[in-house]
Amino acid sequence: MGRWGTAALAALALVATACSPGSAEPATSDEASTSATRTPRITDDSGRPPVTFDPCYDIPDDVMTAAGYDAAKKELADMPMGTYTFLGCTYHDDNEIAGISLGYSLNILAGNVTLDEELENNAHIATPLFINGRRTLLEVDPGRRNTCKYVVETRFGLIMLTRIYHPDYPGSAPIEEWCTGLEELTTSIEPFIPT
């Protein structure tokens, strides 16, 4: 996953709080596509660009709902790391049987590390591609079962969409199922990311 990906996901697990992010109203698709660049909630002392895209605020709830995620239960986290920053949002689809999550868990992180740094860390599992004309990496690590990640380049750094598939049977799903539908979700979110 790379040094900041691991640290950011660990921090997300530790500091995630229930999101109805403050008193802010959730953005609709029309509002998000016409809104001005957001002032970052947090900054770091690295000299890197501020993270001006906040996944919990800047991805419209209706886009996530259409993709099968319960936007009303999203969670956010501030992750100042000193030398870089990640703003994160976690989503789950709404499938659960006897207290066991089924379906998908999704973390979306906006960070001020570069796509080239991410590629340098994860070249062994990364496939470069383009989504809506934007440089992107697809990362599938056979050692992290049921996990798929798309990393999209931004002007401040990158957006990571990391999804874990929770199948309704024991063990790992076939690797070819790990990324099913995640490229389509990434494609639907990309227009809301500042260029």
Q: Encoding tokens for residue 160?
A: 């990571």
User: Rounded to whole angstroms, what are the CA distances from 193 to 73, 150, 158?
Assistant: 22, 14, 10
pLDDT single digits (tens) 107-135:
999 999 999 999 999 999 999 999 999 99
- For the entire predicted model, the pTM comes to 0.79
Question: Which of 33, 2, 24 has the alpha carbon at shortest distance from 194?
Answer: 33
Torsion-angle region of residue 171: left (phi > 0), alpha (psi -120 to 50) or beta?
left
pLDDT single digits (tens) 45-70:
677 888 889 999 999 999 999 998 88
User: Where in the chain does DSSP place strands (E)?
Assistant: 17-18, 75-80, 85-92, 95-97, 100-111, 126-131, 134-139, 147-153, 158-166
Alpha-carbon dihedral 86, 131, 172, 109, rounded to 10 degrees: 10
